[in-house]
Every structure is written in structure tokens, then in C-alpha cells.
Structure 1
Amino acid sequence: MRLIERYLFRQLVGPTILATAALAALALLARSLSEFDILVEQRQTALIFAKMILLALPQLLNIIMPVALFVAALVALNRLHTEQEIVVCFAGGMSRWRVISPAMRLAVFAALISLALGLWAQPWSARLIRETAFDMKTDLASTLVRPGEFTEPGPGLTVYAQSIDRDNLIKNLFIHQEKPNGGSVTYTAREGVIAKRNDLPVLIMRKGSNQEFSSAGVLNYLSFEEYVFDLSTLFQSDELLHYKIADRYPHELFFPDMTQDWEQHNRVKMLAEGHSRLASPLYNIAMMAMALAAVIGGSFSRMGYGKRIAAVGAAAAVVRIMGFGVQAACDDQVWLNVMQYLVPIAATWWGLAQVFRQKIRRYVPIGGAQPLGGLS
């Protein structure tokens, strides 16, 4: 790039980074509010909470990057055009393509980043989110005990705990168990912790006692410093971790394992997701082309370009909504996948057509001029 092109490129990069950062911060804030139950109800650590929020960033960036690019381009281009810097470029002999090439280079760069996010970063982060959520779902401490509540994690078993600290140390624990032979046993302990011994889950209770009633009504009392309560019979879950369509890598979406029933039934949806990963980056180029059309696509105006920008902004919103609608429709019809590419390509063509459209008049009317010899 030449000096003037590098200058135009720098004027676009700054607002784009700021707009992307601002929208990403808002998206992460909204995500954190929706995931707040991780701290409150599931009693996970702040590190797990932050991990779940940050892992959503690749998917969020893919959504907000075209919007951020469009907004930033409108702001930067409108300022450059209002201050007549772009007019000076045209007056200096620069072609329209040379003037818009820094903006299009930025759009292509953003599209490549979006493509990399969609093909690799997004499925990688989505899988980590799924695995972390699965670990929380199968967390014995959160399943067995709820602070201040009586729970029944298994048949004939009642558990109560006063509180659980951040280290998953259970305070003032009460357990009542009904036995199949008609007897019952009650455990009380000042503290307890869930651990594994020989790869089996156990509850280690400390400084407590148990009272056991046999089926004959005989009471046995025992105090202990430490007692191990077997949990393996309560938590024999055969639930497996299953990756959803959004968690799959491109080769898994386009070439599913047809020996699996789930992948056979969802083959069309997987193809739609795969084509969406490839087509979504094109919206970065489409949004930039439409922003260029809003500012450079018409004649120069000292009064600003508010109406034109508003009209193109509405058109850009319609284009993006159409893209989401087409993606949803592709879940049922394979042939519609071509529309996922046609929508952003058509928007790009329209935007560039407005930029390069020049109305040249063959004849220029001159006031009240009369032909020579017109006087009689």
C-alpha cells in the first residue's frame, strides 16, 4: 500500500477494534448474567465461571464482527468524507478502487479471522464448554447436597447440610438412610468431603456419630473421628458426553459417520451448520461494501449523509436477518445451502455497484446559449 492508502487503512482499523471490543464486552456481560447460576446454584468456583464466559468469545466474535465492521466503517468513512479527505484523494487522481482498497483489505482480513474462528476456534471452545457443563452436571457435591435443604439423592436416603464452602467442605452434615431389611441408620458429622477411593466415590465424614436401628428395634450407637460412606451405589450414571452440532469440526459436519443413528437423522442440519461456517465470514465483506455504498456511493454533500446512512443501515440489518433465516431454513432443505452464499455475495455486489456507478452525461446544457447566426 502507498502512503495515502496506509493512512486510510489506519483510520479504519482503530474504530473497528474499538467497536469490536465494545460489542464483545457487552456480549460477555450478557453471557455472564445468563450463566450466573453457576456460582449461585451449582456452587462452582469463580475460575470455572470465568472459563465458561470466556470460552463463548469465539462464537460471539463471529456474530458481532460484521456489525462492528459496519459501524466502524460508517463512522470512519463519514468523517473522512465530511472532512473532504476522500474528495482530495479523488482530486489527486486516485481511482475509486484505490480509495476503497484499504477498506476492502480490512474486510478481507476480518473475513479470514472469522473463517479461522468458525472452522477451528469455535468448535474447540464449544467442546470445552460442553465438557465443563457435563462435569458440573455430574458433580457429586452439588448433586448430593444443597445447603440448608433436605434432599433425597437416592431411594431411602435423606441428606441435609448447613453449608458448603468454596473448597466443597460440607459443614454440619446429617444423613438418614432406610435399609432394605427394615432398619435405618442416621449419621451426623461436623464436616464431610466427597472424594474418591479406588476410583469409587465416597463421602468422608469427620467428628460425628451414627445411630443404627436394626429391624428388631435394637439401637447401636457409634461415635467416630472419621467414617467413610460409600456413594458408588447411588451414582452409577451411564450418561455419556454428547457433542451437539455446534460443537463439531468441519470434517465432522461435511463427512458424518453414517453408521451412527444420530448423525444419520441430523445429516441435513450438520450440512447447514458446515455451510454456515464457510458463508458467515462473507458478511464482513458485505457489510464493508454496504458501508462504502452509504458514504461514497452517492454525490458529495456538505449537509452530511444521515438519510443515506440510515437507509443502508436498515438494508444491512435486513441482509443479516435474511442470512439467519436462510440458515434456519437450510435445516430442512439441502438445496437452500446455496442461498447462504448468495445473500452476502449479492449484498457485496450491490454495495460495490453503488460505489462504482458513475452517471456521465453526454451533453451538458448551457443556460440561454444561442447558436451562432441566431440574430436576425
Structure 2
Amino acid sequence: MVLRLTPFKLASEHVFKELLLTFIICLGSLLTLILIGRMLQLKELFLGQSLGVMEIGRLFFYLSPFFLQLLMPISCMLAIFLTFLRISSDRELIALKAGGVSLYKLLPSPVLFCCLCCVANLAVAFWGISWGMDNFRAEVLEFARNRTQIMIQPGTFNSDFPGLTIFAEQYDPGNKEMRLIFVQDSRGDETSATIVAEKGRVVTDKERGRLQFLLNDGAIYRTAKDQVHTLKFVSYLVNLDIWKTFNAEQLSETRPREMSIMNLRRLAADPDLAKKRDEDYVRKVNVEIQKRYTLPVACLVLGLFALPFACSFQGVKQYVGVLMALGMFIVYYSLYSISISLGESGFLAPWIGLWLPNVIFFVSAIFGIRLTAQEKSIRLGDWLTNLRMPFRKKSS
């Protein structure tokens, strides 16, 4: 028995494969550019710890979900736009219509593709972002802990940490424990503390994202206004400002945009959140919750919007079409950014502002698909060609 695929099935399968390949290329290219830019921002964090290629690659892998939330909608839009621009420019769409395959029959492939992108983006928005940032901080703290143990050499004063001078007379590499420790802490505005301890070691607090110096069996001599206070201790923690050391203060605290959706909802449901933090923080939490839903839906909205938009560029060179598609995404993102600013400032409810760009582009997409199916769409390619004709005549 020989299976024969209809033109509709062949076209749908071909379109879906091309969409997937183009999407992977666009997403990979954009993500690489973003990560390179991020590496330049955190160059002191990476170079200061002398990380290898594998360690940097692992850190970039954990950073990726944070950027995928925004890159997936634009990659989905570009994939559909480039695929249907090629189909339209190569006259394949006309051939399919002649074979009885209308634009409506081609819709299942891009719609299914957009829905899959929505689901993937939802997973990134709900769990991937917090998972990636938590692991990123944990990796950086572990690298910093190992480097700190290397920096604190026996019999050498170390002042790499702002406001701290650390000295250890002995170091046991087996259990990574230091003995006969002296710490000068001058981070206070009007006070300074001298700490001596019998032993100590560097530990990490992954939940709070801190690097700490755990001291045992010692005393604290605190000086304030020509007075000295002495306090003996069995165990004492000295917080090391690792993020400030590497000029990465933005990583010192988990911000709302780095949290999971469960934590965001938990914060939003806390009636005392405004008292614990402030009103601006509450609005940022509410805005971030809406972002976790609107950006995944944007994959479907922008994908459908790109379909008739690509068909309107028949006859235009591909790079011109790409620039126009990026321009339309900039329009969408500008509206989206304005909505975020209005939501965080309290001028507009987040659920209204952040959903408004999606509604506008979705209505435009449905209207454009209907016109394109009826062959009433505006030929932007012909319009641009005619627009350039007077300039060509003047130059000749």
C-alpha cells in the first residue's frame, strides 16, 4: 500500500519544518548576541575569577532563560515572516492557491508552531527564569568561595574585599580550615571592629546569595567614640560583599523579574508586602506577574501578525523585509515598555496596560489574514518599489 500525501499535507509539513529551522537560527543568533553583551557587562565577574570555557558556558546556560522570555516572541515572528516572505516571493503561494490550497488551509502549521512556542515560553516564564538565576548565583558563589580560599594565603594580609582586611597564619587544605585568624572590619560609618579567632573557613549561603567567613572561638573588639567593647563568641559570621567586589551589585538581591511565578503570587497575596517593602515594589510584582502571561501569548500574536505582513512584501528584497519586521517589533516593544512604565508608576493597571499591545496586534493580525486570504492586502513591496522610482529617475 502506497501512501500519497495531498498538496495540503505536503505544504503543511514543509512549512512547519521551515518554520522550526528558521526559528532555531533566529533564536540562537539573538541569544548569542545578548549573552555576549551580558558578558561584557559582567567582565570583571568572569575575568576576576579566571574561569575556564566550560565554567563560562555553564554560567551562560543558566542565564539563557532570563533572555528567552523576550527573544522567543521576536524569533517566532521572524520565523513566520521569513518563511512566508520566501513562499510569497517564490510564487509558491500562488501555485498552492492554483492547486486548491488557500491561505486558510495553510494556517494550521503556523498556528500550531506559535502555540508550541507559547507553551515553551510559559515553561520558561513560570519556572525557567528562577531556576536559571538561582543556579547562576550558586555557581558564582561557589567559584568565588574557591577563589577566596586561594586568595587568603597563610601569613598574608588580604584586603580585596571592601572594608575588610583578613589574615590567617595557618591553612589546612584538607578540611579547608584556617587557624589563628585576624579580621579588621571598617565597613561601619562610625565604628570599626577587630576580630580574632582560633579557626575559621569560607562558607556559602545559597538561599540568600551570600559568601560568608565563619569564625569560631574568638573575640570582637569594637571601637566607637573612643570606647572599646569586647565580645567573646563561639561562632560568628562575617558577610563578604562578593557582588560589590566584582561590580555586580545587580545580582546581590533576587528581584521580582528573577522570581518564579509561585513566589510572585505569594508576594502579591501578602497583605503586609507594602509595609515590608514599599508601594513601588508591590507594583513591580504585579507588573511582573502579567509579563509572565503576556510575553508567551505574544508568540501567537506576533506570529499571526507576521503572516499577512510577509505576504504584503512580495517583490521586496529579503533584507528590506527583515528590517521592516524588526521595525514592527520595535513598535510592539515600545508599546509594551510604555505599559510596563505606566504599570510600575501606578498610572495604569498592569492587567490593562500589558495586555493592550497584544490586543492591538491580534486584531490587526486577524484583519490582515482576512484581507490576504481575499487577495485584498496592500502590496507593500510594490508601494516601496514605486516610492523609489522618482529617486531613481533623478539619479539617472
Identify if the C-alpha distance between structure 1 residues 75 and 288 changes in structure 2 by more than 3 Å, giving closer, same or farther: same
Moved more, 26-35 or 54-63: 26-35
Query: 2:264 aligns to what SS in structure 1?
Result: helix
Matched, 1:151 2:164: no
Distance in 1, matches of 2:362 and 2:117, equals: 15
For the structure 1 residues 352 and 129, does the alpha-carbon distance in structure 2 shift closer, same or farther, using more than 3 Å as the test? same
Of 278, 289, 306 in structure 1, the residue corresponding to residue 304 of structure 2 is 289
Tell me what 1:2 maps to.
Answer: 9
CA shift digits 1:260-313 (9 cap, x unpaired): 543564222111100011001122123222321222247x54x65776665454
Whether 1:114 aligns to 2:125 is: no
1:258 positional shift: 2.7
In structure 2, distance between residues paired with 1:152 and 1:316:
45
Q: CA deviation at 1:194?
A: 4.5
Structure 2 residue runs of 5 or longer lacking an equivalent are 1-7, 185-193, 204-211, 217-232, 243-251, 377-396
Match of 1:95 in 2: 102
Aligned residue for 2:333?
320
The question of whether the paired residues in 2 share the 8 Å contact of 1:58 and 1:125 is answered with: yes
Query: 1:351: which partner in 2?
Result: 365
Contact map agreement 1:194 1:201 (CA 8 A) in 2: yes
Contact conserved, 1:67 with 1:287, CA < 8 A, in 2? yes
Shift of 1:134: 5.8
Please tell me the residue identity of whatever aligns with 2:159: T
Higher helix share: 2
Name the residue aligned to 1:276: 291
Unmatched segments (≥5 aa) in structure 1: 179-183, 185-191, 204-229, 361-376
Q: Could you tell me which of 51, 62, 66 is aligned with 1:55?
A: 62
> What's the CA shift for 1:234?
7.0
The residue aligned with 1:41 is: 48
Q: Which has the higher contact order (CA 8 A, sep 6+)?
A: 2
Sequence identity percentage: 14
Pairing partner for 2:351 from 327, 337, 340 = 337
Distance change >3 Å, CA 123–CA 155, structure 1 → 2? closer
Please list, as runs of the form range in 1=range in 2, the aligned pairs for 1:67-106 lying within 5 A after superposition. Answer: 67-106=74-113
| Partners of 1:327 and 1:337 within 8 A in 2 | no
Asked whether 1:247 is paired with 2:261, we answer no
Q: 1:75: Cα distance to partner?
A: 2.3
Cα distance in 1, alignment partners of residues 99 and 288 from structure 2: 47
Q: Amino acid of the residue matched to residue 340 of structure 2?
A: Q
CA-based RMSD: 4.5
Q: Distance in 2 between matches of 1:307 and 1:39?
A: 38
Q: TM-score, normalised by structure 1?
A: 0.66
Query: Quick one: which amino acid aligns to residue 238 of structure 2?
Result: F
